[in-house]
């Protein structure tokens, strides 16, 4: 009995010491953020060097190819060159799915819009009336908020694959349409905007921001970790879950469906592929898998969860991503067609994605002690 | 052993002495139960649930219109969705609120279950449509097994039923109690997923008010839960039976002597929980939410059994009366899938179980074919999940 008591006393003493440390230690606790000894530098440099910058470089190179295809097309306007332009557009659009998360560094300064720098690359549905009006001579400014919906990949999608008012083929815009010169100019201006902004972002990372990002190991809301986690969840919730699936499926419109609000509507048969790439980018980021798929075990959200004794949550998140992937894979290549044929399958895909929102935004964010800096306002 | 106890005391003291002033959210804060649901900041009320009152008002006009055979499906759909200005007042017509969007729409049950939510909304849509296409055209015809029409109770009242004996207006009215009121209260506004969403807790701790408002967002969420029960009642001294929805059936259950006291228990939990939010004591808050979840779920369980038993009393002798009771029971049973077992993320009955009950009630010619044995078995199964007996819930005579 005495032995037991002695042992209990020992344990209690130990508890006291621990509790004093816990209770009295950190004064910066109230700022939020974990104050554990996890190697944030390793995590941030993995993200910067093996994932983000390689993805941005790839994107930059695909955008260059796209620009070449555009120049060739303008130089010799015919269907064959338009097809080549379409191919280059799709390549760049695929690559875009791997950079769309990263509204950080100079990209973050582009706009205060909740969708971040994505507004200059991928707002859809595209406003064809703005484009047609611009082609006909109305002044336009692609840097103005009103033109978010008339540029980037969705605008190119319309220019390459869509049919303008009173035309019969996509190519007519650039040949027989009375405003064909306006369309050619608009195509070039949209491309310039993509070129410029993607170059600025990549240069910023390569010149200064990579080091800034990796060095910013603070656990506060302005620390790189907190910011990238917020960007990540924001992308997942808005760009992937809501824009790619939820909006066309009527999840935000009392069930009214919108076959025309899918990504790449005018090309139409790639919305599933782009969504799957978006999900792939999300899951690879979570597990810290390098852009070129070479690295295996490096620090990531997943390994950080392991470190914080939350491997179960890590597994749940990966499992839920897998459920969502399977749901999406079962959909029609064209989400427009899927929404028309059987929208229930679309909402099932949405539900599978949504189930991971709770895991990421509530459970994971709370374990990391990361304050979510954006909020959905659906109350009344 | 005394020394161990002493050590614990020391340990406790250490915790207390070291915990700084950011300790507000933990168990320690005393919460005084206020006399009424009155809360103010700087002398101005912080309570606002006009959106809930609006939806109850819309619901009243809607469930009345459902019984009016001069209405078209477009008008009824328009009232369900608040499109087309079919309400009697411009206040309702111009409101941004509507009932349908909040039907099967709670954060906990449906945010990642929109496929099921769509199916539930579609149930209501189809009940509306069927009322117009099946029942309205047979308004003057006597109903028979397999044929829609009307049946007269011994007391003289006509009941308008479908081919299976079901009154769609009852399915809609009682179904909404679950799908709208109960679901929004128990699985949305009293949920930590809503109360503690985003920065709500930090904002409430720091008394950061919602933009342009006199309340914190967390306070407001709690009040919106309150509003779905008391939105047309006197918040300071509830009279009960002030609407055709949850408030009415709380009154019915309260007036059954087996359950007297439930109204006070619910009201007390609402006001203590709200006071706990003001005191930043989230433990007490969540304890009250658990009480409300249990008691409100019980209302649905009790009324389900009540109507099954009531229907049994007149089945075969006064079918109009029996089918009316069973139609109300049908709606309450449908509502069971929106209940919430405290301490869990689960309803007392899953959707699958409810779908099976609904199928059983409507099998063959539905109420025309149903037996007392079926009603008793169902009553037993429902009561067994709750803390009441079939005898307690059943009509007293």
A371 chain-B contacts, CB cut-off 8 A: 199, 202
Give the residue with greater pLDDT, B297 vs A6: B297
Q: For residue A16, is pLDDT > 90? A: no
Q: Could you tell me the CA-to-CA distances from A192 to A53, A66, A152, A189 in Å, in that order?
A: 21, 11, 10, 5
pLDDT level of residue B9 (50, 70, 90 thresholds): very low
- The residue with greater pLDDT, A165 or B221, is B221
Which of helix, strand or coil describes residue A103?
coil
Q: What is the pLDDT of residues A301-315, one digit of tens each?
A: 999 999 999 999 999
The pLDDT tens digits of the residues spanning A38-47 come to 999 999 999 9
In this prediction, residue B28 carries a pLDDT of 60
pLDDT higher at B390 or A296: B390
**Of B27 and B136, which is predicted with more confidence?**
B136
3-state secondary structure of A62: helix
Interchain contact, A351 vs B114, CB within 8 Å: yes
Cβ atoms B334, B174 nearer than 8 A: yes
Which one of B101, B115, B198 would you mutate to disrupt binding with A, by most A Cβ within 10 Å of its Cβ?
Answer: B115
- Token digits of residue A152: 């980037």
Tally the residues of chain A.
380
Q: How far is CA B6 from CA B10, B50, B229, in A?
A: 6, 54, 49
CA-CA-CA-CA torsion sign (A264, A267, A272, A273):
negative
Asked if residue A131 has pLDDT above 70, the reply is yes
The interaxial angle of helices A53-75 and A79-96, nearest 10 deg, is 170
Q: Using CA atoms, how far apart are residues A239 and A253, in angstroms rounded to an integer?
A: 17
Q: What is the pLDDT of residue A294?
A: 83
Q: Which two tokens stand for residue A378?
A: 């659906």
Q: Which whole-number Å values give the CA distances from A60 to A102, A201, A228, B66, in the listed order?
A: 14, 9, 21, 61
Chain B hits for A15, CB-CB cut-off 8 Å, are: 11
Report CA Rg, chain A: 24
Whether A6 shows a pLDDT value over 60: the answer reads no
Q: Are A272 and A334 a contacting pair, CB within 8 Å? A: yes
Instruction: Give B-chain residues touching A354 at CB under 8 angstroms.
Output: 111-112, 114
Query: Are the CB atoms for B308 and B326 separated by under 8 Å?
Result: yes
Domain A32-368, CATH class in plain words: mainly alpha
| Local structure of residue A205 (DSSP, 8 states) | I
Residues of chain B neighbouring A23 (CB-CB closer than 8 A): 14-15, 18-19
Instruction: Report whether pLDDT(A8) > 60.
Output: no
Chain A residue closest in CA terms to B16: A23
- Name the B residues in 67-96 with CB < 8 Å from any A CB: 81, 96
Three-state DSSP class for residue B368: helix
Question: Residue B280, by phi and psi: left (phi above 0), alpha (psi -120 to 50) or beta?
Answer: left
Query: What is the average per-residue pLDDT within B193-220?
Result: 95
Q: What average pLDDT does chain B have?
A: 93
What is the pTM for the complete model shown? 0.84
Residues A192-238 have pLDDT tens digits of 999 999 999 999 999 999 999 999 999 899 999 999 999 999 999 99
CB-based contacts of B353, cutoff 8 Å, min separation 6: B337
Token pair of B125, please?
A: 């849509």
- The answer to whether the CB atoms of B202 and A371 lie below 8 A apart is yes
Please state the separation of Cα B208 from the chain's center in Å: 30
Give the model's pLDDT for residue A28.
Answer: 39
Q: What is the mean pLDDT of residues B188-208?
A: 95
User: Does B15 touch chain A if contact means CB atoms closer than 8 Å?
Assistant: yes
Residues 6+ apart with CB under 8 A from B260: B254
Largest Cα separation within chain A, whole Å, is 100
Return mean pLDDT, chain A: 91
Q: Which residues of A touch B (CB under 8 A)?
A: 5, 8-9, 12-13, 15-16, 19-20, 23-24, 29-30, 251, 254-255, 344, 347-348, 350-352, 354-355, 357-358, 362, 371-372, 375, 379-380
Torsion angles phi and psi, residue A333, rounded to 5: -55, -30
Tokens found for residue B41:
């900041």
Q: Any idea which residue has 């969502």 for tokens?
A: A324
User: Is the pLDDT score of A297 beyond 70?
Assistant: no
- Measured between CB atoms, does B198 come within 8 Å of chain A? yes
Domain boundaries, chain A: 32-368
Q: Is the pLDDT of residue B115 over 70?
A: yes
From the list A109, A135, A133, A128, the residue with the least C-alpha distance to A120 is A109
- Between A3-7, A86-90, B247-251, B352-356, the lowest mean confidence (pLDDT) is in A3-7
* Amino acid A372: pLDDT: 87
Which tokens hold the place of A116?
């971040």
Q: Which residues contact B94 (CB under 8 A, 6 or more apart)?
A: none
Check residue B29 and give its pLDDT: 75
For residue A33 the two structure tokens come to 């953020």
Contact B22 A30 (CB under 8 A): yes
CB atoms within 10 A of CB B314: 18
Q: Do B199 and A372 touch (CB under 8 A)?
A: yes
Radius of gyration of chain B (CA): 23
B44: β partners: B41
């Amino acid at each position: 009995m005495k032995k037991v008591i002695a042992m209990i006393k020992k344990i209690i003493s130990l508890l006291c010491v621990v509790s004093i440390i816990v209770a009295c230690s950190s004064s910066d606790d109230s700022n939020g953020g974990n104050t554990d000894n996890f190697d944030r530098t390793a995590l941030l440099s993995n993200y910067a060097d093996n994932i983000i910058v390689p993805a941005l470089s790839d994107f930059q190179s695909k955008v260059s190819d796209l620009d070449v295809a555009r120049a060739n097309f303008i130089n010799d306007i015919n269907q064959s060159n338009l097809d080549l332009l379409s191919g280059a557009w799709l390549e760049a659009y695929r690559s875009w799915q791997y950079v769309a998360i990263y509204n950080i560094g100079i990209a973050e300064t582009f706009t205060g819009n909740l969708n971040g720098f994505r507004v200059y690359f991928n707002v859809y549905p595209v406003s064809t009336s703005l484009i047609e009006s611009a082609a006909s001579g109305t002044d336009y400014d692609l840097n103005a908020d009103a033109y978010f919906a008339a540029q980037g990949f969705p605008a190119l999608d319309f220019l390459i694959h869509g049919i303008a008012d009173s035309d019969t083929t996509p190519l007519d815009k650039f040949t027989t349409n009375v405003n064909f010169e306006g369309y050619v100019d608009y195509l070039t201006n949209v491309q310039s905007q993509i070129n410029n902004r993607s170059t600025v972002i990549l240069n910023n990372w390569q010149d200064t921001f990579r080091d800034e990002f990796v060095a910013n190991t603070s656990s506060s809301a302005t620390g790189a970790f907190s910011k990238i986690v917020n960007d990540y969840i924001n992308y997942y919730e808005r760009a992937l879950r809501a824009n790619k699936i939820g909006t066309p499926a009527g999840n935000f419109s009392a069930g009214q469906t919108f076959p025309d609000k899918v990504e790449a509507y005018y090309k139409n048969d790639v919305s599933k592929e782009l969504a799957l790439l978006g999900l792939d980018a999300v899951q690879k980021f979570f597990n810290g898998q390098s852009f070129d798929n070479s690295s295996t075990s490096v620090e990531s959200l997943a390994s950080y969860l392991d470190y914080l004794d939350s491997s179960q949550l890590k597994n749940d998140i990966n499992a839920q991503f897998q459920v969502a992937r399977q749901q999406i894979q079962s959909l029609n290549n064209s989400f427009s067609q899927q929404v028309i044929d059987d929208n229930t399958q679309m909402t099932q895909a949405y539900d599978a994605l949504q189930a991971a929102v709770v895991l990421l935004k509530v459970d994971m964010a709370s374990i990391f002690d990361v304050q979510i800096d954006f909020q959905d306002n659906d109350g009344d | 052993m005394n020394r161990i106890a002493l050590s614990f005391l020391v340990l406790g003291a250490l915790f207390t002495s070291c915990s700084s002033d950011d300790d507000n959210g933990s168990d320690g804060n005393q919460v005084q139960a206020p006399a009424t649901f009155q809360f103010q900041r700087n002398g101005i009320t912080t309570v606002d649930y006009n959106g809930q009152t609006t939806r109850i008002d819309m619901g009243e006009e809607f469930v009345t219109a459902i019984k009016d055979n001069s209405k078209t499906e477009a008008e009824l759909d328009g009232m369900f969705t608040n499109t087309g200005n079919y309400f009697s007042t411009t206040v309702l017509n111009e409101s941004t609120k509507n009932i349908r969007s909040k039907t099967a729409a709670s954060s906990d049950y449906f945010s990642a279950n929109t496929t099921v939510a769509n199916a539930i909304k579609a149930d209501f849509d189809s009940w509306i449509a069927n009322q117009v296409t099946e029942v309205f055209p047979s308004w003057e015809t006597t109903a028979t097994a397999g044929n829609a029409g009307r049946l007269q109770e011994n007391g003289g009242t006509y009941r308008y039923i479908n081919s299976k004996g079901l009154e769609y207006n009852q399915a809609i009215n009682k179904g909404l109690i679950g799908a709208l009121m109960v679901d929004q209260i128990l699985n949305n506004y009293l949920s930590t997923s809503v109360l503690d969403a985003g920065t709500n807790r930090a904002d409430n701790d720091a008394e950061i008010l919602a933009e342009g408002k006199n309340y914190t967002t967390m306070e407001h969420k709690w009040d919106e839960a309150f509003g779905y029960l008391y939105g047309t009642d006197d918040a300071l001294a509830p009279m009960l039976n002030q609407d055709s929805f949850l408030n009415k059936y709380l009154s019915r259950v309260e007036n059954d002597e087996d359950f007297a006291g439930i109204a006070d228990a619910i009201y007390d939990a609402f006001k203590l929980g709200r006071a706990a939010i003001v005191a930043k004591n989230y433990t007490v808050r969540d304890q009250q939410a658990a009480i409300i979840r249990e008691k409100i779920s019980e209302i649905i369980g009790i009324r389900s059994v009540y109507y099954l038993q009531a229907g049994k009393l007149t089945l075969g002798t006064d079918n109009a009366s029996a089918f009316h009771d069973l139609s109300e029971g049908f709606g309450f049973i449908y509502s069971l899938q929106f209940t919430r077992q405290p301490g869990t993320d689960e309803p007392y009955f899953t959707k699958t179980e409810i779908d099976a009950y609904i199928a059983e009630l409507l099998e063959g010619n539905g109420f025309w074919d149903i037996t007392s044995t079926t009603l008793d078995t169902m009553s037993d199964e429902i009561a067994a999940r709750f803390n009441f007996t079939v005898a307690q819930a059943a009509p007293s005579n």
